[in-house]
Amino acid sequence: MNGDKIDFGSGDISRLFRAMFFPTLVGMVSLTLLNIFDGMFVGHGVGSDGLAAINIVAPLFLICTGIGLMFGIGASVIGGIRLAENNVKSARIIMTQAYLAGAVIFALITVWV
């Protein structure tokens, strides 16, 4: 299946699922391995204090990732709907607002922490 020719409207569901599932799976496994190796190197190089610092920061990283995904996925869906309606200006405004809202929230989290 060519990546440029994916038809989400009338394509076979099982083929579409496989086309989206395997790249997502590889990405998630890669991030997990990154976290494991990061913990190994920090634990070996810095010691228990470094591992404690990683465990303190990890939930904040996950919160920021969740907020970013929430704004990114939500804005892309609404922006895609507006683009399907041939309303490019509205789609650009939606994406800009999502970016700015995420930036403001991340700045507040950074200042707070």
pLDDT digits (tens, 9 = 90+) for 58-106: 888 888 888 888 999 999 999 999 999 989 999 999 999 999 998 998 8
Looking at the fold, whether 70 and 111 belong to one and the same domain comes out as yes
Looking at the fold, whether 17 and 38 belong to one and the same domain comes out as yes
What average pLDDT does range 8-33 have in this prediction? 84
Q: Which residues contact residue 40 at a Cβ distance below 8 angstroms, ignoring those fewer than 6 apart?
A: none
Any domain includes 113: yes
The range of the structural domain enclosing residue 69 comes to: 57-113
Residue carrying structure tokens 């707070």: 112
Looking at the fold, whether 70 and 35 belong to one and the same domain comes out as no
What average pLDDT does range 36-40 have in this prediction? 85
Amino acid letter for position 14: S
Number of domain units in the chain: 2
CB atoms within 10 A of CB 42: 17
Any domain includes 62: yes
**Whole-prediction pTM:** 0.60
Whole-number average pLDDT of the chain: 85
